[in-house]
Structure 1
Amino acid sequence: MPRVTSADVASRAGVSRATVSYVLNNTPGQSISAATRSRVLAAAALLGYAPSAAARTLRTGRSDVVLCLLPDWPIGNEVGNLLGNLSTELARAGLTFVVHPGSEADRPAAEIWKAITPAAVITFAGFSEDELGAMRAAGIAVVVALLGRPGADGCELQMPQQLIGKRQAHHLSGTGHSRLGYAAPDDDRLRIFAVPRLAGVRANTPAEPLVETVPLDPERAAEAVRRWYEAGVTGVCAYNDEVALAVLAGARRLGLRVPGDLAVIGVDDLPAARLAVPSLTTVTTDQHAIAAHLAVGVLAAMSGSPEPVPPGGDLIRVIVRESA
């Protein structure tokens, strides 16, 4: 089928192509009647007209696409929430959010952004200096988000992963637990989050936490729980809620009481955390606030404005339930 053009919309509405352009682009300073405007919009909807992104870029001198390059991560609940909220925030500014998940078999990042020619690129893990230079030379704003390199150029939000571990350790210490364990994930792709979270726990407990890798398997999780229990661990900081639920399952296999014999705290506040028995104490992050900050950072990078001030640590809090 041939592409519907603005000429088709103009013919259907009985107006000029210029009028169609003025209406669909909300061009200010034009005296177009409400009836004509309604007729143009109705014709565009009936024909399924979609403006050409390439033509809009040529007309305005700027793409409206923001490209997000995800590393090779599992896209879990929290990352999914953040991306959804960020898409909404950018849409309010008239920008289109495109997410490209990474994998070892992917094309190089340079090929991806060159193919899309976005207005801005968001990355969660940072770029090399050569990549940054190439994008800036192409007129692309770069926003290094969440886990970007400290001190790198561009608007950065150093998501305080260590603060998450700190919140976990403080909660368990405050409820009388001095010997802590840390339940690490068995997926190496999550090390970028797990390592700083463990560092936060280490920095906020008097004794070195006993680290165990906990698979999402009840039998193998029970082996880790047994080692903790035999070592005198009474409270466990889990990498996230999924790992925490595995710890709960392992404790049940051993007949241990939670929190009587072993307190457990997770991260992310998954819906399943509320349904667990016992219900799971966890740490949550205000992803709406994170997304709003990143959207402001994108707009600042695109306009050359100063970086926004990162939100404070109050967006990370403990939700107390039965497990700790």
Structure 2
Amino acid sequence: MGRSGRVTLSDVAKASGVSRATVSFVLNDDPRQTISVATRERVMEAAQDLGYVPHGIARALREGSSRVVVLNVDWGIEGNFSRSYVRGLDEELAEHEHILLVRHGHANPEAAQKVLDTIAPRAVLRLGEVYMRGQEPTEEDWERGFAANAALQIRYLAERGHTRIAMALPDHEFPLRDARLGFAQEAARRLGLRPLERFVVPRPRDAGAAAVEAFLAAHGDVTALAAFDDDIALRGITALRDLGRRVPDDMAVIGFDEIEYGSLSTPALTTIHIDAEILGRIAARAVLDVDTEGLAPIPGRIVVRESA
């Protein structure tokens, strides 16, 4: 996973034959835990032999903050990207003896502040914040970042001969909607394609079918739909089938940020798989002021199925 050579709590636990929690209790001299002298000595000896050095804890305590990091995840970021990011962030923070608190959805600002005042977190993060700020992507972003993943979706369709592509969007504002659309439009420009058409695929089912029917009536030259995410792609496939259109023969459909249901649909959904675990680990180390050398984002990949 590109981990560094730093000795972690898990390494000490493995060497001493106890759980990571026991190692943490011993090294922090937790008075609430009853641990035998022999176990304490074994843990301390393993930590010394391995050269274990805790990071970030003393500084956090000096600053008057807790060992909690808060991650705010807006609704609409629910695919593999968020799951893998949270996993990496959580595991890396745990290795440095911090705890992750994940908050989903849009909270009342006053209630949110009460939570923060109560736990005094080391840091507060927001998933995808860098893209929500409208920051222009760097060339590195286009090589292996979120922009590259958006471009991968459009490039896949272009390489299969689709020159008129539409972006299928959700029926309400998601935090990453504008960023995703902007990346996709720039990818189309770089590929020499005309600007992407765009339309909303709403709920419920009959409304989605009506929206797709109206769009196709006005844009009969579109042969492929690049969806904002897998949920929108599945809505699009359902609408097309309800209208008697064949996928992918009449219209190719590709999703984004893989969810399990895509593999269960008919036809099975072609999509983009994004593993953001390394990004979570990088974020954790940045918060704790720990070296991130050796960690680099993993490029997304196409999951080729039947829909495109």
Among 187, 195, 198, the alignment partner of 2:178 is 195
In 1, distance between residues paired with 2:295 and 2:123? Answer: 19
**Paired residue secondary structure (1:197):** helix
RMSD over aligned CA atoms reads: 3.6
Match of 2:205 in 1: 218
Match of 1:204 in 2: 187
Query: TM-score, normalized by length of structure 2?
Result: 0.70
More moved, 78-87 vs 192-201: 78-87
CA contact (8 A) 1:67 1:121 kept: yes
State the Cα distance separating 1:311 from its structure 2 match: 3.1
**Paired residue secondary structure (1:203):** helix
In 2, distance between residues paired with 1:105 and 1:59? Answer: 27
In 2, distance between residues paired with 1:97 and 1:221? Answer: 38
Match of 1:234 in 2: 223
CA distance 1:149–1:229, shift in 2 (3 Å): closer
State the Cα distance separating 1:287 from its structure 2 match: 2.1
Query: What code does the residue aligned with 1:98 have?
Result: L
CA contact (8 A) 1:237 1:265 kept: yes
In 2, distance between residues paired with 1:240 and 1:319? Answer: 13
In 2, distance between residues paired with 1:222 and 1:245? Answer: 12
Match of 1:316 in 2: 300
In 1, distance between residues paired with 2:27 and 2:40? Answer: 14
Match of 1:116 in 2: 119
CA distance 1:25–1:211, shift in 2 (3 Å): same
Structure 2 gap segments, 5+ residues each: 1-22, 30-34, 42-56
Bigger-Rg structure (1/2) = 1
CA distance 1:204–1:150, shift in 2 (3 Å): closer
Query: TM-score, normalized by length of structure 1?
Result: 0.67
In 2, distance between residues paired with 1:113 and 1:149? Answer: 26
In 2, distance between residues paired with 1:121 and 1:199? Answer: 26
CA contact (8 A) 1:285 1:316 kept: yes
CA distance 1:64–1:95, shift in 2 (3 Å): farther
CA distance 1:23–1:186, shift in 2 (3 Å): closer
1:48-197 alignment, distance < 5 Å = 61=62, 63-70=65-72, 72-74=74-76, 76-78=78-80, 79-101=82-104, 103=106, 105-107=108-110, 110-124=113-127, 147=132, 150=135, 160-188=145-173, 190=174, 192-197=175-180
**Paired residue secondary structure (2:178):** helix
CA contact (8 A) 1:164 1:197 kept: no
Deviations 1:121-172 (A, max 9, x none): 323476xxxxxxxxxxxxxxxxxx6645649xxxxx9994433331111111
In 2, distance between residues paired with 1:295 and 1:164? Answer: 22
Deviations 1:155-207 (A, max 9, x none): xx99944333311111111101101111011121x1x3121211222223311
CA distance 1:169–1:150, shift in 2 (3 Å): closer
Structure 1 gap segments, 5+ residues each: 1-21, 29-33, 41-55, 127-144, 152-156
Match of 1:43 in 2: none
1:228-267 alignment, distance < 5 Å = 228-230=215-217, 231=219, 232-267=221-256
More moved, 261-270 vs 117-126: 117-126
CA distance 1:179–1:268, shift in 2 (3 Å): same
In 1, distance between residues paired with 2:225 and 2:73? Answer: 28
Match of 1:142 in 2: none
Query: What code does the residue aligned with 2:305 have?
Result: R
State the Cα distance separating 1:320 from its structure 2 match: 1.3
In 2, distance between residues paired with 1:36 and 1:168? Answer: 58
Among 253, 258, 265, the alignment partner of 1:269 is 258
Query: Are 2:12 and 1:25 equivalent residues in the alignment?
Result: no
